[in-house]
Structure 1
């Protein structure tokens, strides 16, 4: 996936849930500060900051968003490309959330510790942009 020319502001303005829209603005500010990157749309629903290149042992390779989120109907999804497993201690202190393999689902940023979220996103972004993260042994698509 690659960044598109779509407007991040227009996308966020179109978010109908007031809490998701508020949280999207907060995350744009937070992730811009953490990454030093400007937000860009990745596909129709992901707001991303920076990228990293991955290459599987199979030869498959591509680029992916290094930090990003999507204000979904049920919750805002924060993408952690290095997986949530590395953040067990921080997640215990975060507040109300659920997780997937590489996703953190947040229903309301006002109910979590934003400092902990900032630490998680910072660590994840640094890992995936360090230059070695994208070298993976197995291709999950094969």
Structure 2
């Protein structure tokens, strides 16, 4: 999947509230540290996982499903296996009429569900991580010595 840096930057800039589906309360799990990182960057992260519903994570009470979220979200970030994506996308489209983005994590993709969301005007990103893209696009990877492919006069 090829996504332009402009598209990824636009999604990350316009997004304010993110539902992270499949987030773990275990701090060594990728879903935990990605959701925590997004919280530290100022995003309003809503943890979604029926196994930890009612627990506090990143200052928020985890919910068991997207339908339990009060108010809308701008992005649904999916940390589940690809075969779970169609049900999650259907729930997201039903629960959030103004949804802007469905983001599927590294290794997660489902073309039919993506097409369904895109037909409703939702931006879909597959097989990418918003934490990695944020760090790459906004200069944080450069601080760790990684070549980001972004030319900048910023040190």
TM-score, reference length from structure 1:
0.31
Q: Please give the TM-score of this superposition, normalised by the length of structure 2.
A: 0.29
Higher strand share: 1
Q: Which has the higher contact order (CA 8 A, sep 6+)?
A: 1
